[in-house]
Structure 1
Amino acid sequence: MKQIAVVGAGKIGSTIALMLAETGDYAVVLADRDAAQLERAEKHEAIATRAVDIADEGALRDLLSGAYAVLSAAPFHLTTAIAEAAAKTGTHYLDLTEDVASTRRVKELARESRSALIPQCGLAPGFISIMASDLASRFDTLDTVRLRVGALPQYPSNALNYNLTWSTDGVINEYIEPCEAIVDGRLTQVPAMEEREEFSLDGVAYEAFNTSGGLGTLCETLEGRVRTLNYRTIRYPGHAAIMKVLLNDLGLRHRRDVLKDLLEHSLPTTPQDVVIVFATVTGQKGGRLTQETHAHKIYSGLVAGLPHSAIQITTAAGICTVLDLLAAGALPQAGFVRQEEIALKDFLANRFGQRYAARAA
C-alpha cells in the first residue's frame, strides 16, 4: 500500500483523498493548516489527517517523509513550496494548478529531480490537453485547435449566472493573468476575459472567453505545428460583462482579497453543476481539410457512496488517474512530465479515468 500525502482539505482535496482511499491501494494523509477544514472532510479508515503549515519547511518535509507521492490541492500560490519540498525529498509530485508561473518553477525543479514532477493534472489544465493531443494525432497536419471547458451551475439564479464550484482564488487568477495562445503560428500572450464568443450545445446558449492556464504546456508542445491554438472558459451569457465591470471599472483586479470576499459572501456554492468539455481540431487528413469535434457533459455523482459535484469528480479523477499510471510504471519516474505525454486510451481505461470514459467520444 503506497503512502500518499494530499495537501489541501477543501472540496477537491478531500475528494481526491476519498477516491484514493476507497481503492484499498493507497493510505492517505490529508493535510491542511486549518483544523476545522480537516474536521469537515469525509472520513475513511484509510485517511489520516494532519494539521500542517505549508510555510513551515520542516513540517512540510516531515509530511513527505516516507510518502510515495504528494498531491497538491492547495491554492496556486502554495504549489511551488510543495514542489520544492518534493524535489528535495525525492517524492513524486502532482498538482492541479492553472498558474503559469508556478508551472515554470516546477519545470525548473524537474531538471535535476530524482522523482517525477507532474503539474496541471486536473480538468483544464489536465484532461483537456490529453484529449487535444489525441485528437491532433489523428491529422497529417494541423491548422486549428480550439479548446473550451466550463464548470457551471445547472440552475443559474443570479445576474452572474454563476455559482462557486471550486477555488475562488483559482477563478480570479484565471480571469486576471495573461493567457498563452498560438496566433498565426507563433506562441504569444492574449488578455484574459477578451475574445468573447457565443455558441450553443444541446440547445443551451453559452459564451466563452480567454482565461489563463487552461492549456498547460500544450502551446510549447504544438508550437510550429499549428496555426491557431486557444483555450477559453465557458460561462452562461452575461457573466463576462459583469466580471469585467468588477475587475476593470471598479479596479478589483488590483484588490483580489476584496473581490474574493465579495464572491464568497455573495455567491452560494452548489453541488448541482455540470462540466462541459468542447474541443475542435481542424487540419489535413488524407489530402482533405477535415474537422473533428469532441463535446460532452459530465454531471455530479457519487464517490464512496457520497454525493460529489461534477467539478470535484472530474478534477479529482484527473489527478488520481495520473497517480495510478505513475505507480504502474506507465509514466516517466523522474523529471518533468507533461499532460499531453499521457495516452488518452490509457487515461480512459484507468479506474479513475473511467469517470470521463462514459461520455468521451
Structure 2
Amino acid sequence: MKNILLLGAGKIGCIITEMLSSTGDYFVTVVDKSELSLSRMPKNKHVECVQVDVTCKEKMLQVMDGKFAVLCACPFNITKYAAEVAAEVGVHYLDLTEDVETTRFVKSLSENSKAALIPQCGLAPGFISIVAHGLTKGFDKLRNVHMRVGALPKYPSNALKYNLTWSTDGLINEYCNPCEAIYQGELVSVPPMEEIEEFSLDGIDYEAFNTSGGLGTLCESLSGRVDNLNYRTVRYPGHRDVMKLLLQDLRLVDRRDLLKEILESALPITYQDVVLVFVNVDGYINNQLIQKTFAHKIYSQEINGVLYSAIQITTSAGICGVLDLLATGELPQSGFVKQEDISYNAFIKNRFGRYYASPEGENNLFDAE
C-alpha cells in the first residue's frame, strides 16, 4: 500500500479520496486548513485527515515525510507552495492547475528533482492533451488541432446557463488571462473570451470561445509540427456575452474577489451535469488530407453509493489514473512529465481512466500510438 498526501478537501478532493482509498492500494492523508471541509471527507480505515495550512513549509515538510506522492487539489495560487516542498524532499508531485505561470514554475523545479513532477492532471488541461496528442500520431504533416471542452449543467436555469461545478478561482482565472495558441505556425497570445464560434452536437447548440490554460504544454510539444492549434471552452449560447458584460463592461476583471463572491452567492452547485470533450485533428497521411475527430460526453453517476458530478469524476479520474501509471512504473520516475507524454491507450485501460471510456469504435483512432 502506497501512502499518498492529498492537499485540498474540496469537491474534487472528496472524490479523489474516495477513488483512491476504496481500492485498498492507497492510504490517503488529506490536508486542509478548514476543519469543516475535512469533516466531509470519506471515512474509512485508509483515510486520515490533518488540519494544516498548505502554505506553511514547516508543517508541509512534516506531513510529506514518508509519502510516495503528493496530489494537490488546491486553488492555483496555492499550488506553488506544495510543488516547491515536494521537489525539495523528493516526493512525486501531481496537481490539477490550469494556470500557465504555475506550470512554468513547476517545470523550473524539475531540473534537479529526484522525483516526477506532473502538473495539469485534470480534464483540461489533462485528459484533453492526452486525447489530442494521441490523435496526432500517424500524421505525416499536421494542419489543425482544435480542442473543445465544456462542463455544463444538464438543466440550465439562469441567464448564464451555468452552475458552479468546480473551482470558482480557476473559472475566473481562465476567463481573464491571455491564452496561448499556434496560428500559421507561430506561437501567439490571444485574448480570452474572444473568437467565439457556434456548433451543434447531438441536436444541442453550443458556443465556444478562448480561455486560458486548456492547452497545457501542447504549444511547446507541437511547435514546428502544426499550422494551427487552439483551445476553447464550451458553453450554452449566450453565456459568453453575459460574462463579458461582468468582466469587461463592469470591470469586475479588476475585482476578482467581488466577482467570486457574486458567483458563489448566486449560482448553486449542481451534481446533474455533463462534460463534453471534442477534439478535431486534420492533416496529411500518405499525401491524403485526413480528419480524425474524438467526441464524447460524460455524465454524473454514483460511485460507491454516492452521486458525484461529471466534472468531479473526470477531474479526479485524470489525476488518479496518472498516479496509478506512475505507481506501476509506466511513467518516468523523475523530472518534468507532460500530459502528452501519457499514452491514451494506457490511460483509458486504467481502472480510473475507464471513466473516460470513449464511444464504441473510436479507440481505433489511437492505434497509431
**TM band (smaller chain):** over 0.9
Deviation by residue 1:30-69 (Cα, 9 ceiling, x = unmatched): 1111001111223222111011101211011111111100
Taking a change above 3 Å as real, the CA distance of residues 88 and 175 of structure 1, as seen in their structure-2 partners, is: same
How far is 1:359 from its partner? 3.6
Please state if 1:203 is matched with 2:203: yes
CA distance in 2, matches of 1:9, 1:261: 20
Corresponding position of 1:146: 146
CA distance in 2, matches of 1:168, 1:140: 41
Corresponding position of 1:131: 131
How far is 1:267 from its partner? 0.3
Q: Determine helix, strand or coil for the equivalent of 1:120.
A: coil
Please state if 1:341 is matched with 2:345: no
Q: Is the 8 A contact 1:298 1:359 kept in 2?
A: no
Corresponding position of 2:318: 318
Q: Is the 8 A contact 2:31 2:54 kept in 1?
A: no
Match runs of 1:142-181 below 5 Å: 142-181=142-181
Corresponding position of 2:102: 102
Deviation by residue 1:101-144 (Cα, 9 ceiling, x = unmatched): 00000000000000000000001000000000110003111000
Identity of aligned residues (%): 59
Corresponding position of 2:306: 306
How far is 1:358 from its partner? 4.7
Match runs of 1:268-307 below 5 Å: 268-307=268-307
User: Structure 2: any 5+ residue segments left out of the alignment?
Assistant: 363-369
Q: Which amino acid aligns with 2:334?
A: A
Q: Which amino acid aligns with 1:209?
A: F
Q: Is the 8 A contact 2:113 2:335 kept in 1?
A: yes
How far is 1:292 from its partner? 1.1
CA distance in 1, matches of 2:42, 2:209: 35
Q: Determine helix, strand or coil for the equivalent of 1:331.
A: coil
How far is 1:342 from its partner? 0.4
CA distance in 1, matches of 2:5, 2:251: 38
CA distance in 2, matches of 1:24, 1:307: 21
Corresponding position of 1:220: 220
**Which structure 1 residue ranges, 4+ long, deviate > 3 Å from structure 2?**
none
User: Structure 1: any 5+ residue segments left out of the alignment?
Assistant: none
Q: Which amino acid aligns with 2:258?
A: V
RMSD: 0.8
How far is 1:2 from its partner? 0.3
Question: 302-311 or 170-179: which moved more?
Answer: 302-311
Q: Which amino acid aligns with 1:341?
A: D
Question: 35-44 or 57-66: which moved more?
Answer: 35-44
CA distance in 1, matches of 2:78, 2:345: 32
Deviation by residue 1:313-343 (Cα, 9 ceiling, x = unmatched): 0000000000000000011000000000000
Match runs of 1:255-266 below 5 Å: 255-266=255-266
Corresponding position of 2:191: 191
Corresponding position of 1:69: 69
How far is 1:14 from its partner? 1.1
Corresponding position of 1:90: 90
CA distance in 1, matches of 2:19, 2:189: 36
CA distance in 2, matches of 1:239, 1:140: 38
Q: Is the 8 A contact 2:17 2:41 kept in 1?
A: no
Q: Determine helix, strand or coil for the equivalent of 1:38.
A: helix
Corresponding position of 2:51: 51
How far is 1:161 from its partner? 0.2
Corresponding position of 2:25: 25
Q: Which amino acid aligns with 1:30?
A: V
Deviation by residue 1:286-327 (Cα, 9 ceiling, x = unmatched): 211111111010000122221100000000000000000000
TM-score by structure 1 length? 0.99
Question: 42-51 or 156-165: which moved more?
Answer: 42-51
Q: Determine helix, strand or coil for the equivalent of 2:226.
A: coil
Q: Which amino acid aligns with 1:171?
A: L
Q: Determine helix, strand or coil for the equivalent of 1:192.
A: coil
Q: Which amino acid aligns with 1:22?
A: S
CA distance in 2, matches of 1:39, 1:147: 38
Corresponding position of 2:13: 13
Q: Is the 8 A contact 2:95 2:118 kept in 1?
A: yes
Q: Which amino acid aligns with 2:192?
A: A
Deviation by residue 1:135-173 (Cα, 9 ceiling, x = unmatched): 000311100000000000000000000000000000000
Q: Which amino acid aligns with 1:16?
A: I
CA distance in 2, matches of 1:59, 1:120: 25
Q: Which amino acid aligns with 1:120?
A: Q
Q: Is the 8 A contact 1:14 1:30 kept in 2?
A: no
Q: Determine helix, strand or coil for the equivalent of 2:112.
A: coil
CA distance in 1, matches of 2:122, 2:310: 12
Q: Is the 8 A contact 1:7 1:31 kept in 2?
A: yes
Question: 95-104 or 40-49: which moved more?
Answer: 40-49
Deviation by residue 1:253-273 (Cα, 9 ceiling, x = unmatched): 111100000000000010000
